[in-house]
Amino acid sequence: MKWYPLLFNPVYQEIIWGGRQLWRLMGREVPYERTAESWELSSHPKGITTVANGPLQGKTLSELIRIDPAGFLGKDNPEAIFPLLVKIIGAQRDLSVQVHPDDEVGRKHGVPGKTEAWYILSAAENSRIIYGLKPGVNQERLALALETGELLSCVNEIPVQAGDFVPIPAGCIHALGAGILVAELQQNSDTTYRLYDWGRTDAEGKPRPLHLQEGLEAINCELPLPVSFKHSREEGLLFDDEHFTISWRRVQGTRQIQAGSSFSIWTVVEGNGLVAAGGQEAPLVQGSSILLPAGIGETTATGEFSFLLTLPSIRSIN
């Protein structure tokens, strides 16, 4: 199989907190009045993306795996299901305060766990996120706050800016604030336990359901807060988890990149450029993601852009 850089057709999701305004910052016209998410690269049943370019146009990730498992995923990768999911999220309004379970808690409920990370592409003035528990908040205090609707007294509100990198391990309570556009790299999971939803209602005037019992079980009260969400903007590792790693990379001019032992995903966070391999070229702009199969060989990147390099973790392979 002659592999080449793969672009995918995004699948847009409409959610109550979405809108159109933030997507225009990336030059996108979106299909829904409350467009909230663009699933850029996904094999999840709720949003299956297909190849947008080249001879494999129209193929899903699952179909690509069946064509050549080792050449696509990597010879040491046993996954039969694509393990990662890439999104762009545009928060026109505050997201619900929520938590995702780890694999162990997820198994108890018959759902996959979900660790993720955000890169802030754009943030309105005075934007903030909710992240983690305040010092001294234990399971008992948290349970009482959930019962009485006083959860906000237990969490941190942290200002963010474009260029911040926010790791969100499973078990971390969090919420994206209004006016923020992020790239999200995550496990292939849509498991979310909603804990607080700002008192809003859906189109029928009904509050969205909360998942307090499951959420309380999933929250890890011992997670430490990161020292900072800023990073050096120098090439290097940003995130190292048992499921995937994320590194910051930059192309200035022309750069030759040799394929590794597994597939890789590039998500452009600044600038634009072109990637070429296998007789095919693929353009890249801010917010776009491209998948390089394990068997692609040498790739040539040209332009001026920075990107997140996401790889399946060696620990998840062995």
| pLDDT above 60 (res 10) | yes
Report pLDDT for 260: 86
* Secondary structure tally for the chain: helices H, strands E: 6, 19
| pLDDT above 70 (res 59) | yes
- What percent of the chain stands above pLDDT 90? 91
Report pLDDT for 78: 59
Assigned domain for 1 exists: no
Assigned domain for 2 exists: no
- On whether both 158 and 30 belong to a single domain, the answer is yes
- On whether both 81 and 193 belong to a single domain, the answer is yes
Mean pLDDT computed over 176-184: 98
Assigned domain for 225 exists: no
- Rounded Cα gap, residues 281 and 298, in angstroms: 13
| pLDDT above 90 (res 80) | no
CATH number (domain holding residue 68): 2.60.120.10
- On whether both 117 and 46 belong to a single domain, the answer is yes
Q: Which two tokens stand for residue 68?
A: 């050549």
Quick one: CA dihedral 28, 292, 121, 201, positive or negative? positive
- Could you list the residue range(s) of the whole structural domain that residue 137 is in? 8-218
- Show the CA angle centred on residue 317, arms to residues 256 and 237, nearest 5°: 50
Assigned domain for 142 exists: yes
CB atoms within 10 A of CB 125: 7
- On whether both 132 and 173 belong to a single domain, the answer is yes
**pLDDT tens, 274-285?**
999 999 999 999
| pLDDT above 90 (res 251) | yes
Band the pLDDT of 83: cuts 50, 70, 90: very high
Assigned domain for 134 exists: yes
| pLDDT above 90 (res 77) | no
- On whether both 96 and 194 belong to a single domain, the answer is yes
- On whether both 166 and 68 belong to a single domain, the answer is yes
Report pLDDT for 144: 97
Report pLDDT for 313: 84
| pLDDT above 60 (res 314) | no
Which of 49, 52, 74 lies closest to 62, judged by CA? 49
- On whether both 210 and 246 belong to a single domain, the answer is no
Assigned domain for 3 exists: no
- Rounded Cα gap, residues 64 and 291, in angstroms: 12
Report pLDDT for 316: 41
- Tokens 């307090």 belong to residue: 212
- On whether both 152 and 47 belong to a single domain, the answer is yes
- On whether both 211 and 285 belong to a single domain, the answer is no
pTM: predicted TM-score of the whole model, two decimal places? 0.96
- What percent of the chain stands above pLDDT 70? 97
As a whole number of Å, the end-to-end CA separation of the chain is: 25
Assigned domain for 209 exists: yes
Assigned domain for 223 exists: no
Report pLDDT for 35: 98
**pLDDT tens, 106-164?**
999 999 999 999 999 999 999 999 999 999 999 999 999 999 999 999 999 999 999 99
Catalytic residue check, 194? yes
- On whether both 136 and 278 belong to a single domain, the answer is no
| Domain total in the chain | 2
Q: Which residues pair with 129 in a beta bridge?
A: 158
Mean pLDDT computed over 22-48: 97
Report pLDDT for 79: 63
From the candidates 66, 107, 141, 194, which is the catalytic residue?
194
| pLDDT above 80 (res 232) | yes
- Rounded Cα gap, residues 28 and 94, in angstroms: 21
C-alpha neighbours within 13 Å on the C-beta side of residue 108: 9
- On whether both 41 and 150 belong to a single domain, the answer is yes
Mean pLDDT computed over 193-199: 96
- On whether both 58 and 193 belong to a single domain, the answer is yes
